[in-house]
Structure 1
Amino acid sequence: MEFGILSLIPPIIMLVLVLLTRQVLLSLGAGIVVGAFMLNSFDIVPSFNEIWKSFSQIFYVEGDLQLGSIQLLSFLILLGITTAFMTASGGSSAFGEWAIQRIRTRKGAQTMPGILGLIIFIDDYFNSLAVGQVARPLTDRYKVSRAKLAYIIDSTSAPITVVSPISSWGAYIIGLIGTIIAAQEITGYGELEAFLRMIPMNFYVFGSIFLVFLTIYRKFDIGAMRKHEEKAQNTGELVDPSKEVPGDLNNEFKATQGGKIYHLIIPILVLIVATVTTMFITGIQGTPAEEEVSILSIFANTNVNRSLFFGGLFAALSGLVLYMFLQGSKSSTGKVVLEGIKAMLPAIYILVLAWMIGTIIGSMGTGEYLADRVKEANISPTFLPFMMFIVAGFMAFATGTSWGTFGIMLPIAGEIAATLDVAMFLPSLAAVLAGSVFGDHCSPISDTTILSSTGAGSNHIDHVMTQLPYALIGALAASVGYVIFGFTTSTILSLVVTLVIVLVVVLLFQPKQNSIEK
């Protein structure tokens, strides 16, 4: 059944309910139910079967276990357990005490996760969760709201990953570009060179990262973010205690007094080393026999979810061993494990429902409908990058997936550009990447957004609502950049204009400084 514009109804209902109620589970559930009923002509029994199917296929499809989703959910549980052991052992407290002696300003505390977000560029999931675990003890000490930490994490993780060739995203994108170049019979450069040329054309990414550090150093706290930051500084409440917070242990047990920094550092190092090592192993194993093994082939064929699972497993085991050998541990091992699992359940609920509505939206053809409208439109080559940015942004926003948007929109953008003006080929592909990250930043059903909330220990909807104004500023600047590029074809001029617009907006709308800020 063709739904056309009606395919937009479930994501619109979900997004409207999110804005009106701030209840993400209710909103996701409503979108799932409406979509399922639409798919089955409002017949009750088949509609409920559709809902069950969208849930069960997360774990089991046609006799095969869906190991990828099972491993990612298991990783979240293992990460919760690891965090619980780091907290119960006193490692988080000890790290906070150590860091506060060396990072003496609130701005410095916020800068650390921003820099870590740029350094850990191999995968956005890993970035979002690992940076949060390292930074949270420090940002908590300086009363940085969890919503602010989630924004810093989210607005550095996907942006840096999408422009890094040595990353899970980069490898996937390079593979797609290779097939598009071959299909359009474009010569003069290969897929890796094309990707590298596209990096400075990703205006939203650079505008977004620039805005993160401007926000930190200019205290550019606007909209809902300002309320969260003022409340954190005035009352010490980093999150709203009345709301569910994934990854937060809610003081369920007291930290052991004898904890040392290594009780936090060792599990984090084990997590990083085990995850990266497994990524290399699975990447080598997954590389076809006829293909030469290289860094790019490894990241193109790695199994990210399996790598995260083993990284989380070894990290949890290391946290357990360290805790068991700690003298005077105040909580039973079983209680620590249980509280770690409970802390991650809100994130798991949101992620599962987000996957379910993604399946429903996919069955209705929402992405294909938007893509078809682009192909049918009579677009001037001058405005092609701008249009690709807007459409990709809306598609990623509605569907909650950057990767899905890449897969649909990159071939379409390449085909249109190759037909209209081959000079716009790479800029159009770059605009799709930029728009996908923008839409991802705005979408409450984006897995990266969900995991950024989890890593920071922020209420998910609080994160979505506080990040939205910053994403829109970055998108506005990038849109102007793509329009200017269409008329001038100058990458440097367009990028500079994008960054200048971001700077001007920050200077013009700078809130009055809070006297508490130091």
Structure 2
Amino acid sequence: MEHTVWSLFPPLLTVALAIVTRRVLLALGAGILSAALLLSGGDVGATLQRVLETFSAVFWTPGEDSAGELNVWSLSVLGFLLLLGILTAFVTLTGGARAFGEWALRRVRSRRAAGALAAVLGVAIFIDDYFNALVVGQVARPVTDRHQISRAKLAYLIDSTAAPVCVVSPISSWGAYIIALIGGVLTAEGLAGSGQGALGTFLQTIPQNFYVWAALGLVAVTVWTGRDFGAMQRYEAEARGELPAGSVTSGAAPGELSAALPVSGSGRTGDLLWPIGVLTLATVGAMFWSGAAAYRAETGQAATLLQMLEYTDVAGSLLWGGVLGVLTALLRWLGHWRRGALAAGSLAQGMLEGLRAMFPAVVVLVLAWMTTDLIGQLGTGDYLAGLVQASLPAAILPALLFSLAAAMAFATGTSWGTFGLLLPITGGLLGTAAPELLITGLAAVLAGSVMGDHCSPISDTTILSSAGAGCHHSDHVVSQLPYALVGGAITLLAYLVAGLSGQFWLGLLTVVLGLAAYSWWVGRAGQPLRG
């Protein structure tokens, strides 16, 4: 069943169940079992064994000549999630979230401004998408809640700014990874000495990454007009109180704290800003430090800024940032306890509540990783990549590569894996047959990977955007999907125009015209701005 059309069944089943039933755990469980069943040839015992091995691999990496070792990367990410839950609880305990909300309410006086705050923060924090998704949610959530913006809308604003900005920023973990891959493509195609280099090639892909500009444009239109369509209309209506609470949302969301948690009456904005600030500075500092140390250990030389990001340990940096952020929050709690504003028992209560609130996100992320692992074993990505035929007209290859990358990222839940598989294929396909379209083709792969990632319920970025916004994962998936599809349709048309004309600026013009048409349509059919 590997590397055949059957390899598409588990991801499609997962996606269909997630959208139809809106029960994410059921959907992921079905995807895991179906993939394991296909890999085991229908043997029930072997299926259960493979499921157990895949679950174990999340926490423990087996070795060929040894007992293996802890999977430090995944454990660090899960640890950061739990630490973020604890930090959120203590920011609430100390009254920092309430004080920041009251402060912002006096300055951010409209729903439009509240949405703009979330979008601007999403663009500004471009170092890493994980970090972006979780931190922006913590800062913006008190403001968007006060202005009755739904958690689904906040998750959309986070998700549709995090990856799109990271994929075009050379000073990010994404940029460093992509530049390294492009360097390999140029070497394989004999272009390494052409003068433009991997960084120069990456910079040329930025204006041709049409989905980035379509996605950011959709965010801008949505924030400015306050008009929505599809499922998002219902979530926004519930947030404004026009529908009964719980009539649309799917229940308790990851990161949602209990109403019984005590709150200090002497909270200040610093009770939120100091922990978040330390978390941010510590994480970014650890990313550069770990990258420099890893590069020096491998080469014996000092690293440049891009080399630091290429070699950085993102997961470990997040963990260190989370530890220092929580310690800062605990110090703020200590001050409130000394003043008698909080009881000693609130320390344990806050920790337990933070862990409880974030546990659902941890479970979903673990199951998504298992699904991604099994789909990788089935060779779903390889099967999709094999659908590209060199005999097709070169002019339609950018649009085809965009569609293929989107399908692959959607099915596998990983944009990085799609980059790693399709960028070399694109280099081999266009480097000889149509070198004038090489940059456009590389950009199309990057664009499609992000678009498919936005649509996929098993994408870790999508899951973490839900967690950061405190939104139930299925609510985020069904409400963001229409926006991602609109952006994808505009982008597909743009790559067709760019490929047929040979002028990438005509593709950019197509994006602008597509956004103008969308703005006109949603202005007539969408939901108006209120408040």
When the two structures are superposed, what TM-score results if normalisation uses the length of structure 1? 0.97
Q: Map Cα deviations across residues 328-386 of structure 1 (whole Å, 9 max, x no partner).
A: 11562001000000110111111000000111101110000111111x35221101110
**Structure 1 match to 2:97:** 92
Specify the alignment match of 2:271 in structure 1: 263
Please list the CA deviations of residues 444-486 of structure 1 after superposition, one character each: whole Å capped at 9, or x if unmatched.
Answer: 0000000000000001010011001110111111111101101
Q: What are the residue-to-residue correspondences of 1:134-149 with 2, within 5 Å? A: 134-149=139-154
Unaligned runs of 5+ in 1: none
How much does 1:289 deviate? 1.9
Q: Which moved more, 1:126-135 or 1:498-507?
A: 498-507
Contact residue 227 and residue 526 of structure 2 kept, 8 A: no
Helix, strand or coil at the partner of 2:206: helix
Distance, in Å, in 1 between the alignment partners of 2:227 and 2:98 is 29
> Shift in Å at residue 413 of structure 1?
0.8
Distance 2:82 2:320 in 1: 12
Matched, 1:335 2:343: no
2:22 touches 2:250 (CA, 8 Å); kept in 1? no
Structure 2 residue 38 is the aligned partner of structure 1 residue 38: yes
Partner in structure 2 of residue 224 of structure 1: 231
2:77 is aligned to 72
Pairwise CA distance, 1:188? 3.9
Matches within 5 A, 1:394-409: 394-409=407-422
CA distance in 1, matches of 2:463, 2:293: 30
Contact 1:118/1:160, CA 8 A, preserved across alignment: yes
Secondary structure in 1 aligned to 2:241? helix
> Which residue of 2 is the match for residue 385 of structure 1?
398
| Counterpart Cα distance in 1 of 2:482 and 2:525 | 18
Number of aligned residue pairs: give it.
517
Counterpart-to-counterpart distance in 2, 1:109 and 1:403: 31
Q: 1:316 — aligned with what?
A: 326
Q: Secondary structure at the match of 1:354?
A: helix
Contact 1:54–1:356 under 8 Å retained in 2: yes
Identity in percent: 45
Change in CA separation of 1:480 and 1:121 when aligned onto 2, cut-off 3 Å: same
Q: Is the 8 A contact 2:398 2:444 kept in 1?
A: yes
1:512 shift after superposition: 5.9
Question: In 1, distance between residues paired with 2:125 and 2:474?
Answer: 25
Residue 495 of structure 1 is matched in structure 2 by 508
Residue 509 (structure 1) shift: 3.0
Pair 497,89 (structure 1): closer, same or farther in 2 beyond 3 Å: same
Instruction: In structure 1, give the amino acid aligned to 2:417.
Output: G
CA shift for structure 1 position 321: 1.3
Runs of 4+ in 1 over 3 A off after TM superposition: 235-242, 511-516
In structure 1, the partner of 2:52 is: 52
> SS in structure 2 opposite 1:450?
helix
Residue 495 of structure 1 and its aligned partner are, at CA, apart by 0.8
Amino acid paired to 1:295 = L
Distance 1:452 1:154 in 2: 6
CA distance in 2 between partners of 1:89 and 1:492 (Å): 52
Looking at structure 2, the residues matched to 289 and 40 of structure 1 have their Cα atoms a distance apart, in angstroms, of 43
Q: Does 2:240 align with 1:233?
A: yes
Work out the CA distance in 2 between the residues paired with 1:265 and 1:11: 40
In 1: Cα distance, 2:332 partner to 2:131 partner? 23
Q: 1:415 to 1:296 in 2, by over 3 A?
A: same
Q: Does 1:357 align with 2:367?
A: no
Q: Distance in 1 between matches of 2:408 and 2:167?
A: 17
Q: 1:144 touches 1:238 (CA, 8 Å); kept in 2? A: no
- Structure 1 position 257, deviation (Å): 0.9
Equivalence for 1:347:
361
Worse-superposed segment, 228-237 or 172-181: 228-237
Contact 2:83 2:322 survives alignment (8 Å): yes
Tell me the SS of whatever aligns to 1:325. Answer: helix
- How far apart are residue 255 of structure 1 and its match? 1.5
Asked if the contact 1:252–1:339 (Cα under 8 Å) also holds between the matched residues in 2, the reply is no
CA distances 1:280-320 after superposition (whole Å, capped 9, x unpaired): 11010111325551000000000000000000011011111
Q: Deviations over 1:51-107 (max 9, x none)?
A: 001100011122111100000000000000000000111000000000111111110
The answer to whether the 8 Å contact 1:477/1:499 transfers is: no
Quote the offset at 1:506 in angstroms. Answer: 2.2
The change in CA–CA distance for 1:292 and 1:193 in structure 2 (over 3 A counts) is farther
* Distance in 2 (alpha carbons) for counterparts of 1:446 and 1:100: 33
3-state SS of paired residue (2:207)? helix
Q: Which residue of 2 aligns with 1:206?
A: 213
In the alignment, which residue of structure 2 is the partner of 1:307? 317
Distance change (3 Å), C-alpha of 1:515 and 1:159 = closer
Q: Would the aligned equivalents of 1:233 and 1:516 in 2 still touch at CA under 8 Å?
A: no
- 3-state DSSP of counterpart to 1:373: coil
CA distance in 2, matches of 1:252, 1:201: 50
1:25 aligns with 2:30: no
Residues of 2 paired with 1:133 and 1:463: CA distance?
17
Pair 277,515 (structure 1): closer, same or farther in 2 beyond 3 Å: closer
Matched, 1:456 2:469: yes
The letter for the 1-side match of 2:76 is Q
Contact 2:290-2:312 at 8 Å conserved across structures = yes
**Shift of residue 250, structure 1, vs aligned partner:** 3.5
Closer, same or farther in 2 for the Cα pair 1:155/1:514, shift >3 Å?
closer
Does the 8 Å contact 1:279/1:303 carry over to 2?
A: yes
CA contact (8 A) 1:207 1:502 kept: yes
Helix, strand or coil for the counterpart of 1:200? Answer: coil
Q: Which whole-Å deviations, capped at 9, do the CAs of 1:491-513 have from their partners, x for residues lacking one?
A: 22211211220221221232567
